[in-house]
Structure 1
Amino acid sequence: MERSTCIVVASNDRTASLWDIGTARVVATLKHDLEINSANFDASGVAVVTTSQDQLAKVWDVASGEVLASVAHSNSVYAAAFDPSGELIVTASDDKTASVWEAATGSKVCTARHEHAVYSASFDVSGARFVTASRDSSASVWDALTGAKLVTMKHRDRCMNSAFDATGKRVVTASFDKSATVWDAVSGTKIFTAKHSNLVFSAAFNVLGTHIVTGGDDFAAKVWDIASGKEVSTLRHKDRVYKAAFDPTGSRVITASADSSAGVWDASTGTQLLTLKHCRGVLDAAFDASATLVATASEEGTAAVWRVESGERLLSCRHEATVNSVAFS
């Protein structure tokens, strides 16, 4: 299947569905025994990893829909990501651990331990390190082969997500302490802190690593210039913002909100370019690699694909329960 022609949709109905955008057809249905929390492609788009409350993460072949590997935690698995090569996955679990596994075999490479649930885990650009975010109010960087802890970054309340920039030199974290922070990934030194007036759910870099966008419980997403520490723009919703992310060019932002909408915005001016409406809260949203399409995931049990230029809805992907995540190949 060609790159960027497919999306994967993860739902509480215990399935993740693979859709061909061009034909608007389901090409595979991926099943777990309990609710599916997330689903993501590898960099080449040939494999998907799903995570579930059934305590498993599964790696799937996109072309056949067959399971390639299944790995087990001792509690719900919240998130998983491939390394850049597609050879490894890292999983984040409510069992207080994140683990690295061989994607082809499910063999465990290493385990990292927190003091409470781990909400997110992802690799750096080299695949040599991964970063975790935990309910124990910390984020940590780990060696992906040995599981050795390299650095710890501390917040004052639970840390909801963390990610490296494109160079691997910096990490951004989002926390319930009403802040998002940019850190030096090697020393753990705090570089910049962005403040909201309520909980922060989401934080992400632009492709150049010069700006971050944050989403919070104060009904806003905010774009920040890291070097100056200044707020560039505020993107306002009518309810909490669960997710905010830049497009691949860094010029636009997508937001997902509990106000039953997703927004596409000009990152520098804060002008809203599109309002994409659902019937219930939008939990996730993402741009495709070309920045011409966006996908949204809603509590109403629907994911949708939209054309950025016109706001036209190209595809509606229906599930029998809340859709938690959506991702492009």
Structure 2
Amino acid sequence: MASCSTARSLFYMNDDQAISPDSRLAATGSEDIILWDVKTEQIITRWDYPSYVWSLAWSPKTGRYLVSTHGDGSILIWDIVGRERIANLNQHGRAVTAVAFTPDGQRVIPASEDRSLIVWNPISGSKQGVLQGHDSRATSFAVAPDNTWKASLGFDETLIEWDLTTLKSRKTIATPMGTHAVAISPDNHRFALDAGLLAREGPACALVNYHDQHASSFTFTRDGRKLYGGGRRLLRVWDASNGRRLESVPAEEADAMSLSPDETRLVTGDLKGQLTLWRTQPLQPLVTIPAHEARIKQVAFAPDGQTIASVGDDKKLKLWQTQPLRFLKDIGEHSAPVLAVAFAPDGQQIAGGGQDRSVRVYTRRQTWFGRRWANDGLRLVTGSSEGLVWRWDVATQQKVNALKVGDSNVRSVAFSPNGEMLVGTSSDPMLRIWRAAEKASLIP
């Protein structure tokens, strides 16, 4: 096997959260599995299992099934409609650390610390075959867009291409030491690794070679023709068909990057906690702003391209306006560094995954169920989903304080005609009335 250049190793993280294809449901896992209604943020059901959850994945298109993998080697299939477990595929001797459905939803392929890759039919629960070839556990895998083959990457510094019809390996390619992530280009012709770009055919060596320079982030264009990569204070663009470097510009070490939906802009997040917005044609920086107090781990464009989400080692999830690039709000905070962020397809929910193995789903904009102006136009009250009635100073556009209604949603609020009284209703049967100038019951 031919060998390629060495790249600095990355940490490998297992996901334990997933949003359904229609963005209506979210599943989270740790000691148990919780199914959530994304819109109401309420728990639909909770499934207990005695072994820790390592990863979750939804069946594509319909989202009828959810698969979970566990530390005891179990792979559980859950029927979302029936709210029940329909299969326990337990033939692994060690923890199953990652799982994915094939794009057609007909097969489930997990990766286990016992080094085996078993292909399952998720409906019948039947084993279709075992893919064995790595000398150590697989750290990452990807299924080709045409569903006919997959690639797996192992700690043994090999990439194996598998035929999903025969369940046999087609080829084995040596990869640089510390390579932990793999993706397949949309045209099926190339592998993108954190160490470079690999051609499926021809010499088994990277077309794009980082020459011992760590690739801390990369992304393909949708048509698979270009690859953007960041590392060692350079941002580069390659022709993915032949590995020819198209552009290279100085940049801070970018650990995160995301292309806008129309691919005219690129956002990067660096080790200093800065966000940089780039024009892609030609590649040039538009603006750089301080964003986080520590390294930025991941960034994501919203589907409409008007908002960016960023997360980092400062434990925060933040939202940014893109034109011009400016801060919108801190939308959430975890108890440990936040490593991943993603928008739901409709753009209205955002999921953040943390090093504390928690996932939190946020609404894109805080929900206000009612708002009323005082007749003098100088005061505003709003009711929120957190059971609070907020009072605002209109001149400064700042919150002054809040009345605690309870734990239920505030449905409406109103001033009396003379502006002296305030009334609020919530999801419970209570009607609450306050003096508008009252201070005693307000939350500072």
Q: 62, 86, 90: which one pairs with 1:68?
A: 86
Give a deviation string over 1:126-152, Cα, whole Å, max 9, x none: 211112121112222211132222233
1:290 to 2:346 alignment: yes
With over 3 angstroms needed to count, the CA separation of the structure-2 counterparts of 1:248 and 1:120, relative to structure 1, is farther
Tell me what 1:226 maps to.
238
Residue pair 1:80, 1:122 contacting (<8 A) in 2 also: no
Q: CA deviation at 1:166?
A: 3.2
Aligned residue for 1:226, secondary structure, equals strand
Candidates 128, 134, 158, aligned match of 1:138: 158
Q: Residue in 2 aligned with 1:169?
A: 189
User: Match for 1:86: what amino acid?
Assistant: G
Q: Is the 8 A contact 1:159 1:173 kept in 2?
A: yes
Identity percentage over the alignment?
20
Give yes or no for contact 2:267–2:299 (8 Å, CA) kept in 1: no
Would the aligned equivalents of 2:153 and 2:180 in 1 still touch at CA under 8 Å?
Answer: yes
Mapping for residues 194-273 of structure 1, pairs under 5 Å: 200=216, 205-210=220-225, 225-227=237-239, 228=246, 230=248, 234-236=268-270, 237=273, 256-262=311-317
Aligned match for 1:5, one of 17, 24, 32: 24
| C-alpha contact (below 8 Å) 1:213/1:244 kept by paired residues | no
Match of 2:206 in 1: 190
Structure 1 counterpart of 2:198, one-letter code: W
Name the residue aligned to 2:35. Answer: 18
Separation of aligned partners in 2, 1:53 and 1:315: 36
CA 1:245–1:137 in 2, change beyond 3 Å: closer, same or farther? Answer: farther
Query: How far apart are the structure 1 equivalents of 2:84 and 2:66?
Result: 10
Which amino acid in structure 1 is aligned with residue 87 of structure 2?
A
Q: Which moved more, 1:103-112 or 1:291-300?
A: 291-300
Q: Pick from 63, 68, 78: which aligns with 1:50?
A: 68
Check 1:198–1:163 CA distance in 2 against 1; reply closer, same or farther (3 A cut). Answer: closer
| Closer/same/farther in 2, CA of residues 129 and 223 from structure 1, 3 Å limit | farther
Letter of the aligned partner of 1:191 in structure 2?
A: L
Of 79, 96, 100 in structure 2, the residue corresponding to residue 81 of structure 1 is: 100
Partner of 2:47: 30
TM-score, length of structure 2 as denominator length: 0.58
Aligned partner of 2:398 in structure 1 is none
The alpha-carbon distance between structure 1 residues 151 and 303, as it changes in their structure 2 partners (threshold 3 A), is same
What CA RMSD, in Å, does the superposition of the two structures yield over aligned residues?
Answer: 3.9
Larger Rg: 2
Instruction: Name 2:337's counterpart in structure 1.
Output: 281
Runs of at least 5 residues in structure 2 that lack an aligned partner in the other structure: 1-19, 240-245, 250-265, 274-292, 369-383, 387-444
Q: CA 1:229–1:65 in 2, change beyond 3 Å: closer, same or farther? A: farther
Distance (Å, rounded) in 2 between the aligned partners of 1:98 and 1:263: 37
CA contact (8 A) 1:141 1:185 kept: no
The amino acid across from 1:30 in the alignment is: W
| Cα distance in 2 for residues equivalent to 1:82 and 1:10 | 18
Which is bigger in relative contact order (C-alpha 8 A, separation at least 6)?
1
Q: Which runs of 5+ in 1 are unaligned?
A: 317-329
**TM-superposed deviation, 1:252:** 7.4
Matched to 2:65, the amino acid is A
Report the alpha carbon displacement of residue 110 of structure 1 after superposing the two structures with TM.
Answer: 2.1
Displacement of 1:47: 1.0
Higher strand share: 1
Kindly provide the amino acid, as one letter, of the partner of residue 234 in structure 1: T
Shift of 1:223: 7.1
- Tell me the secondary structure at the aligned position of residue 160 of structure 1: coil
| Aligned residue type for 1:173 | L
Distance apart, 1:42 and its partner CA: 1.3
What is the distance in 1 between the residues matched to 2:47 and 2:98? Answer: 16
Q: Give the counterpart letter for 2:180 in structure 1.
A: M
Partner of 1:321: none
CA distance in 1, matches of 2:310, 2:158: 25
Distance 1:4 1:54, change over 3 A: same
Cα 1:205–1:2 change in 2 (3 A) is: closer
| CA-CA distance at 1:285 after TM superposition | 2.4
CA distance in 1 between counterparts of 2:107 and 2:181 reads 20
Tell me how far 1:6 sits from its aligned partner: 0.7
Deviates more, 1:149-158 or 1:188-197: 188-197
